[in-house]
Amino acid sequence: MFFAEKIDVTKYNQVTERLMLTHWSRLSEPLRRQYAYLEAEKLGRGGKTYISKLLGISHKAIRKGEAEVNDPELLGQIPAGRQRRAGGGRKKFCPLPGQVGPA
């Protein structure tokens, strides 16, 4: 019978976690993803789950940070002074004739 092995991740102390959260709050969106990935990578197995819970970031965002760190071409697609690639983010509202605002 197979039993799931409990993953024992080395956790940071409270002071280090608080400093990480302070640093995290000052980063831009792409740098947050990359920072989360690098911290998770340092911890090894179970690191993504721990960092995800600590920083409140999804596993998907950490994987995106991994792709950005490992493929510099992805970072080159983000224009200078911007947070996202062209076309990213919420689309602008374009009212139909006779509409005043968002429905």
Q: What is the pLDDT along the chain (103 residues), one digit of tens a residue?
A: 454 555 566 788 999 999 999 999 999 888 899 999 999 999 988 999 999 999 999 999 999 999 988 987 776 777 666 666 666 667 777 777 776 665 5
Question: Distance between CA atoms of 43 and 84, rounded to whole angstroms?
Answer: 28
Q: 99 lies in a domain?
A: no
Contact assessment for residue 34 and residue 71, using Cβ atoms and an 8 Å cutoff? no
Q: 94 lies in a domain?
A: no
Q: 66 lies in a domain?
A: yes
Instruction: Give every CB contact of residue 32 below 8 A, 6+ residues apart in sequence.
Output: 24, 55, 57, 61, 65
Rg value, the chain, Cα = 19
Q: 86 lies in a domain?
A: no
* Count of the separate structural domains present in the chain: 1
Q: 27 lies in a domain?
A: yes
Q: 90 lies in a domain?
A: no
pTM of the model: 0.69
Domain that holds residue 38: 14-74
